[in-house]
Chains A and B, each alone.
Chain A
């Protein structure tokens, strides 16, 4: 097992425990990168008749924090919310494009798009940029036509599938195993599989983000929770660690 050495001072420790020295070695070529990573974690959970989409509100770049109030959940329709994390520029453009396409659909078909249709459409929008992808990890949460909770998770080029719960973004590797255990009852023997009710789900989401903020530098500041039910979309904000 590799021990992760903590950086406590300006010196950096290499693999063999000795200090690595950083000094200028020669000309360094810097290439322009059209992408940057702005951090953030998104999570969605589908219940029997509700869906929850939650995200932290920290916007970072490199070692700095640009904003403590930049939520990553965007409301699309009365029954669908999307969470986007990754490169903030692409997140903004992508949500603008989705909004425009939703309006066009509404005007041509005289009805709102269903969650499943939005997911299928987003897949083709993302694949349209197969050779210069949107650097965005999307998760859609909402209600399907029958009123049941639905979560659709995507990759940057448009592959998607329907899930019951999914975590995406910088702390996803920390959150997903916890959700597997608490919602999916994975690796638990002799436990009753109780269906998730709304209160328990919201509390679980809060706990999970508090844990993520403890151990992921890009997650923190505040948590924005959007709860989608047939009555509409309710928003809740919970403070998180600001360090």
Chain B
């Protein structure tokens, strides 16, 4: 449920808000972000190191952390694989989080970091992409879409947004994969893994991608394996592996496999 922070270990300490909350208007029209009132106040959700919880019945709002998301380009498009766990401290808040956001039928975005940040800005990106399509009578390129997203969040740099996303799609230059985050990074690449379990996933994909021409099935299997291995070793990743394949006609959801089932399947294969 509390899906806010899917990447880093943080719990929000709201004791700074007393001084910084002046200037926020509470209007009914909450669809506008109140952009006027936000500028300047350097609010950050950075946490103090854990203070003892024994000081009476004080409660901090817990945000969620931990994830593994990965995407890689290959001959037949882009494979996107994610886990589905969201944690708040040591509590697993949900095992069924959708960490792949379907921006439009040919663009996907992954979610790592603050879930609300990711889903809100990617939904806004979907709107901007549609406006582009209407104005220009052609589909937006992956480079342009990722640039729109990067520019939108750059305005909030330093204010505490937490978003590490990969924009994946297929446009007229072929498969496209960009990593965009709330720090202002925007890089093009062939392979990205984001999250607390990313190192484990990199290990698997790097060794599997040695062979040049992978078939679609081999690539899907590789992505699935990588996420499974990450969930195996990273305590903060788990749940199900959601696998998507982006090709020239758009994306399609390949599979959703429970990690427990995958474990039994791989154990059986080993024997």
Q: B31 on the interface (CB 8 Å rule)?
A: yes
| CB pair A127 B116 closer than 8 Å | yes
| CB pair B21 A132 closer than 8 Å | yes
| CB pair B30 A125 closer than 8 Å | yes
How many chain A residues touch B (CB < 8 A): the figure is: 41
**What chain B residues lie within 8 Å of A34 (beta carbons)?**
14, 17-18, 21
| CB pair A137 B2 closer than 8 Å | yes
Q: Give Cα A137–Cα B3 distance, bound, in whole angstroms.
A: 11
**What chain A residues lie within 8 Å of B118 (beta carbons)?**
159
B interface, over-half SS: loop
**What chain A residues lie within 8 Å of B18 (beta carbons)?**
31-34
- In whole Å, how far is A198's beta carbon from the nearest beta carbon of chain B? 24
| CB pair A97 B28 closer than 8 Å | yes
> Which of B4, B32, B41, B116 has the most chain A CB atoms inside 10 A of its CB?
B116
Q: Encode A132-161 as 1/0 by CB contact (under 8 A) with B.
A: 110101010000000000000111111111
| CB pair B38 A157 closer than 8 Å | no
Residue of B20, B57, B64 near A155 (CB, 8 A) is B64
| CB pair A62 B56 closer than 8 Å | yes
Q: Give Cα A63–Cα B57 distance, bound, in whole angstroms.
A: 7
Known contacts A131-B159, A168-B1, A161 near B28 by CB under 8 Å: no
**What chain B residues lie within 8 Å of A133 (beta carbons)?**
61
Q: Give Cα A33–Cα B160 distance, bound, in whole angstroms.
A: 19
Q: Give Cα A161–Cα B1 distance, bound, in whole angstroms.
A: 8
Known contacts A33-B18, A97-B28, A155 near B1 by CB under 8 Å: yes
Q: B34 on the interface (CB 8 Å rule)?
A: yes
**What chain A residues lie within 8 Å of B54 (beta carbons)?**
12
Binding site for B on A (CB under 8 A): 12, 31-35, 37, 62-63, 93, 97, 100-101, 123-133, 135, 137, 139, 153-161, 163, 166, 168, 172-173
8 A-B pairs whose Cβ atoms sit less than 8 Å apart in the complex: A31-B19, A34-B14, A35-B17, A93-B26, A123-B116, A129-B26, A129-B34, A139-B1
